[in-house]
Structure 1
């Protein structure tokens, strides 16, 4: 037998899925919901929390409970080891964007010296909390809600070597070209991927429920001069917006057709 909050959540869920409450629109106020369902605020709170965990709604400060768009296309990111170069943009890493697909920036890109998280500080050989240059932007395909939060951290020594990397406009090829021109080229990169829960700030910037998992892709660029990491780029993407695709290759031991094995274990 379902509890009262589950019954309320089921009714609201049906109304959302039927289109009665449209994506981007708001659910009725707490007070109106308590009157409509004849329950207390605690029941409404539990029902809305359940819908948030399901990714159907999110709570927005001073706005209320907003309905999420659940029809967004899940984008594929093909992960390989190939880094390409575009004469107009500089280095191109595996991404969810199709060639020449228009993307947009939400809000203004920001750059500031802020305390580095532990993973970044460790990469740069700094103490946790040391101030490091962070370049931040929130982007998405044109016409869609935020798709990814991108933070690029550049080590203090690299900023000293390539001051233009800290400027609003880094010139053709971007900050990576400036770092390589300053003597750190050719850079090499290592990428790691993990799933986790978003911070409150990340959830607000990506406009997702705080209970919705995200995918974190971390790219660490290492200097050929110092053999140490000098830039770390962290992409945070709502996990329900993307899927990772990898093309598998056969090792020599897995070639086909399989050679027959003799009675004594030799071909």
Structure 2
């Protein structure tokens, strides 16, 4: 009973996908109003809705209240080489492995802000705080110049960090940013550990990144540990839409996998 409808929504999704790709429905345009389009095609409105949802899952459109299904700019997939080396730029301070190329200009979307808000569970756990405790969060949405939002970056600073280095709470902490202020306050050299995972975004994250909530994201959490207290002092969580990034890294042979392979000597007979 459901197969004919299933075929129809898949066919409709394929037709709309082709129209998006050939520019019939350019980025920023809106797909036809759902019920009117269904009537025009002689289809049930749930069939059209299923086709639109499929395009949303693929990251081709995004449903916006009072506008409908808006066609998105084609995502630019960027490759991240998962290195472990942190470098330093005299003008910017520490530089962590990222998807940017040397000297590539990046832009900020919207206005970065900082505010004490209830910490995420993993953040309060790292800082050994009670669940829901307020922690200073610095938030910004950035991308390479001219591209749609690429990443949402939240930096959480422990109460100890703010107390010992008050400038980390300023809009402009100064040369080298908040990390230099922390190390100058006695927490250097900070040691970092990174953990990555794939998950689904919450509503606010999807809105800030301009994606549907059905698009998985790559989350990278970097925990900075103070050399003074030997406890986490800052946590940075970077969220990147899954359709805009791929991870790469070179594989190396261990000693047991060297070539040519050492011949195996046959067992000696009695």
Post-superposition offset of 1:191: 0.5
Aligned counterpart, 2:108: 105
Instruction: Describe the SS at the equivalent of 2:54.
Output: helix
Structure 1 unaligned residues grouped into runs of 5+: none
Q: Which string of whole-angstrom CA distances, capped at 9 and with x for unpartnered residues, describes residues 87-128 of structure 1?
A: 111001101000010110000001101111111111111122
Number of matched pairs: 264
Instruction: Describe the SS at the equivalent of 1:134.
Output: strand
Assess, with a 3 A threshold, how the Cα gap between structure 1 residues 262 and 8 changes in structure 2: closer, same or farther.
closer
Aligned counterpart, 2:48: 44
Q: Which string of whole-angstrom CA distances, capped at 9 and with x for unpartnered residues, describes residues 143-192 of structure 1?
A: 11000000111111111111100110010111011111111110001111
Aligned counterpart, 1:187: 190
Q: Which string of whole-angstrom CA distances, capped at 9 and with x for unpartnered residues, describes residues 31-57 of structure 1?
A: 432332233433332221122112221
- Residues 1:57 and 2:82 are matched in the alignment: no
Distance 1:242 1:161 in 2: 37
- Residues 1:243 and 2:261 are matched in the alignment: no
- Residues 1:82 and 2:85 are matched in the alignment: yes
Distance 2:43 2:262 in 1: 71
Aligned counterpart, 2:163: 160
Residues 1-267 of structure 1 mapped to structure 2, 5 A cutoff: 1-3=3-5, 4-70=8-74, 72-263=75-266
Post-superposition offset of 1:69: 2.5
TM-score, length basis structure 2: 0.92
Structure 2 unaligned residues grouped into runs of 5+: none
Distance 1:232 1:159 in 2: 13
TM-score, length basis structure 1: 0.93
CA contact (8 A) 1:8 1:37 kept: no
